[in-house]
Amino acid sequence: MVASGLPAFSHSARASSVPATIPPRPRGLYLITPDDTDTTRLLARVEAVLPHACWLQYRNKRADARLREAQAIALLALARAHHVPLLINDDATLAARIGADGVHLGEDDGDLAQARASLGPAALVGASCYDDITRARRAVDAGANHVAFGAFHPSTTKPGARRADPELLAQAAALGVPRVAIGGITPDNARALLDAGADLIAVVGGVFDAPDPIAAARAYRAAFERAHPSS
Ligand SMILES: Cc1ncc(COP(=O)(O)OP(=O)(O)O)c(N)n1
Ligand SMILES: Cc1ncsc1CCOP(=O)(O)O
Ligand SMILES: [Mg+2]
């Protein structure tokens, strides 16, 4: 169940157990999967760090449609076991088909209002807003219930990503939805983004390319605890 009292997801076709509980003001590490086409290895990598994550996004730019569906279903079972919501990158149809908790859509990934309609009122629907506050306002009007800005730092995962200024995070407070920061974020540079108003820090490489991913995931958590000592 979510804060609204509505079920977090009711369209589940294939996932078995209970949907994740989504707090009204999520704060923490938003893990995004690396491009790993070895499903067994991907699951092991994610499972090791999932206890430190608030949300999980399945993103795999190297997998074909069949592998993406198989990996998404396997990750959904894992995420459910850890009570972490799973969002699917780029593909609202896949998210609806497997009963994921939500979707993340960028500028080339389809219509937010359609995604909201197909996933239902309780789903997590996120929008990439890059460096653009107007895009964020429109995204919320269209049905997004959280917005992502960035890249804030150079990203090895997405080297060509447009860059954004942390000031955007403060401006976006008026939207009244959780703000996600993404792009080259490390435990060391996360604090400035948390101070600017980020609720969630989305990370691929900072965790999955770290020599010790578990220690890295813990370090992000510690950054949140330092920034928000009472929560
Ligand atoms: C949380 C979050 N923020 C931004 C993105 C980037 O989305 P997009 O611009 O569609 O780029 P790709 O991820 O599809 O390469 C994201 N995935 N997640
Ligand atoms: C998908 C995406 N969009 C902007 S930067 C980025 C990649 C994030 O990965 P990393 O945390 O490794 O920079
Ligand atoms: Mg995309």
CATH number of 106's domain: 3.20.20.70
The ligand 2 site (C-beta within 6 Å) comprises: 150-151, 155-158, 161, 182-185, 203-206
| Predicted confidence (pLDDT) at residue 18 exceeds the cutoff of 90 | no
65 lies in some domain: yes
CB proximity list for 159: less than 8 A, separation 6 or greater: none
Pocket test for ligand 1, best of 31, 88, 90, 104 (most atoms within 8 A of CB): 104
Which pLDDT band, with edges at 50, 70 and 90, does 11 fall under? very low
6 Cα: distance to centroid of ligand 2 (angstroms): 31
Q: What are phi and psi of 98, to 5 degrees?
A: -95, -5
89 lies in some domain: yes
3 lies in some domain: no
5 lies in some domain: no
Q: Report pLDDT digits (tens) over 200-228.
A: 999 999 999 999 999 999 999 999 999 99
Q: What is the mean pLDDT of the chain?
A: 92
**Count of structural domains within the chain:** 1
Q: Which ligand is nearest to the CA of 126?
A: 1
For the CA of 154, the nearest atom of ligand 2: 13
At which residue do the structure tokens 């969002």 appear? 87
| Predicted confidence (pLDDT) at residue 34 exceeds the cutoff of 60 | yes
5 Cα: distance to centroid of ligand 2 (angstroms): 33
Q: Report pLDDT digits (tens) over 109-123.
A: 999 999 999 999 999
118 lies in some domain: yes
167 lies in some domain: yes
ipTM at complex level: 0.99
156 lies in some domain: yes
Can you read off the two tokens belonging to residue 116? 């909201």
Q: Residue 76's domain spans which residues?
A: 28-227
Q: CA angle 92-97-103, nearest 5°?
A: 30
Judge if the beta carbon of residue 59 lies within 6 A of ligand 1: yes
